[in-house]
Amino acid sequence: MYMALSIKKTVDVDTAVQVALLNNRGLQASYANIGMNAAEVWQQMLPENPKVSIGILGIAHPELGLFRAVEGMIAANILSLATREKRVDIADTRFRQAQLKAAMATLTVAADTRRAWINAVSAFETVYYLNQGQAAADAASELAQKLGESGALNKAGQAREHAFYSELTGQKAEARLAAKLAKEELTRLMGLWGTDVDYFVPDRLTRLPSRLQTSNAIEGEALQKRIDLQIAKLELEALAKSYKLTDATRFVTDFEIIGGFEKERELNDDGDIESLTTPQIEFDLVIPIFDSGRPRLRKAELAYMQAANLLAEKAVNIRSEARSAYAGYRSSYDIARHYKNSVLPLRVKIEEEALLSYNGMITNTFELLADTRAKIGTLLQSVNAKRVFWLADANLNAAIYGGGTSVGGAGETMTPTSGGGGGH
């Protein structure tokens, strides 16, 4: 199945996740593992096929004709029938584990896509503000050149403004490249190609929420809902059942009962051919003289102990991940709101007052442009803070349900990336 996008369509985060879940081929491949494990359950439920052997002795006998004797045997594995229920139970556990692994893969793709969408939108929003900053730098550079020609500004002052303009031009080029790469990562996760890559992302990230998730019993919630922890529990369950099967077959690993007949033809004293049919029964088993099964049992014990320790370790790590994710979520929210409610209003107020002073001929043009540039810098920091919060929000959900928390976090710095929305 392939989900196409309308040309020039603006993709929101929910649409991006939906497209990724339908188009991502790696995810589709993981679903095939469910069918493979279902087939394994089916196969274990079927009795083992009997083995049939037929032997013909004395072919083209000079006196008896075509053959002298015929043997027919049929063998059934009794041990396989005795352990069938245990093997079906193990296969069923592996099947449930495969289902959870597919669910885990789905959550991972969804979380990675959400993070990629956040990075792409933030990147284009950053370029938008860099464009504003470059407009101010362009005006300052042009003014410096004119003042320099008139002798009102020395060469050091001119060079200072030209250098700022040049540096900002390089930063914007880097930001455009970062935005292009961020969008390409999103495209790759959505599995798009051809004309479907000509989509847009929004101009700006979503506003900060008015209310936050609570931290009440977040560790318990993560322990209850984390898919990878449930997979580890099923692994321990499957190994426990495998240990019981190994213990049941410790001494005798193969036991077959073989039944059949032997039909033999002979010449009697009168020269007539007589046939004699004899029933036969045999038992085929391995005698544990050298290998008593203890090494196999010990390996099964150690595999179980290993899985139990890994499960305990994962539980401890999940608790820590949940606490860390919430701490990053809460702190990044406070930082983002601080920029939005405190720092940005102050920068706007400074710029407004600078404009009034400039109109009143109290300050000069360069001071006004410097305040404008400072406000642009604060806007970029605010965008980065908002981006870090939404990444922390995605990581918090991943810490509770699964899907990884590798990208982004409180305190992460941001390289200026392009931001601009539709059309990018």
Residues 89, 241 contacting (CB under 8 angstroms): yes
Task: Please tell me the pTM assigned to this model.
Answer: 0.74
User: What pLDDT, on the 0 to 100 scale, is given for residue 165?
Assistant: 66
Q: Considering only CA atoms, which of 151, 185, 145 is closest in space to residue 163?
A: 145
CB atoms within 10 A of CB 422: 14
Q: What is the mean pLDDT of residues 8-28?
A: 89
Kindly report the length of the chain.
Answer: 424
Cα gap 286→296, rounded to integer Å: 15
User: What pLDDT, on the 0 to 100 scale, is given for residue 164?
Assistant: 65
The HSE-up count of residue 49 (CA atoms within 13 Å, CB side) is 3
Q: Residue 113: is its pLDDT beyond 90?
A: yes
Q: Which of 85-89, 309-313, 402-406, 410-414 has the weakest average pLDDT? A: 410-414
> pLDDT confidence of 25, banded at 50, 70, 90?
confident
> pLDDT confidence of 417, banded at 50, 70, 90?
very low
Q: Residue 61: is its pLDDT beyond 70?
A: no
Q: Residue 98: is its pLDDT beyond 60?
A: yes
Q: Considering only CA atoms, which of 28, 183, 181 is closest in space to residue 109?
A: 28
Mean pLDDT for the chain overall? 79
Cα gap 130→365, rounded to integer Å: 20
User: What pLDDT, on the 0 to 100 scale, is given for residue 349?
Assistant: 81
> pLDDT confidence of 158, banded at 50, 70, 90?
low
Helix (H, G, I), strand (E, B) or coil at 323: helix
User: What pLDDT, on the 0 to 100 scale, is given for residue 89?
Assistant: 87
Residues 260, 199 contacting (CB under 8 angstroms): no
Q: Which residue has the higher pLDDT, 315 or 358?
A: 315
Judged on CB neighbours under 10 Å (0-12, 13-18, 19+), 287 is exposed
Q: Residue 87: is its pLDDT beyond 90?
A: no
Q: What is the mean pLDDT of residues 55-75?
A: 75
Q: Considering only CA atoms, which of 155, 113, 92 is closest in space to residue 14?
A: 113
Percent of the chain with pLDDT over 70: 73
Q: Residue 422: is its pLDDT beyond 50?
A: no
Please report, as a single letter, which amino acid is at residue 271: G
User: What pLDDT, on the 0 to 100 scale, is given for residue 39?
Assistant: 86
User: What pLDDT, on the 0 to 100 scale, is given for residue 17?
Assistant: 93
> pLDDT confidence of 321, banded at 50, 70, 90?
very high
User: What pLDDT, on the 0 to 100 scale, is given for residue 423?
Assistant: 46
User: What pLDDT, on the 0 to 100 scale, is given for residue 257?
Assistant: 75
Judged on CB neighbours under 10 Å (0-12, 13-18, 19+), 394 is buried
User: What pLDDT, on the 0 to 100 scale, is given for residue 122?
Assistant: 94
Q: Residue 411: is its pLDDT beyond 50?
A: no
Residues 409, 388 contacting (CB under 8 angstroms): yes
Q: Residue 424: is its pLDDT beyond 70?
A: no
Q: Which residue has the higher pLDDT, 274 or 393?
A: 393
User: What pLDDT, on the 0 to 100 scale, is given for residue 292?
Assistant: 64
Q: ∠ CA 267-271-275 to the nearest 5 degrees?
A: 35
Q: Residue 357: is its pLDDT beyond 70?
A: no
Write out pLDDT tens, residues 269-320. Answer: 676 777 778 887 876 766 666 666 677 778 888 888 988 999 999 999 999 9
> pLDDT confidence of 390, banded at 50, 70, 90?
very high
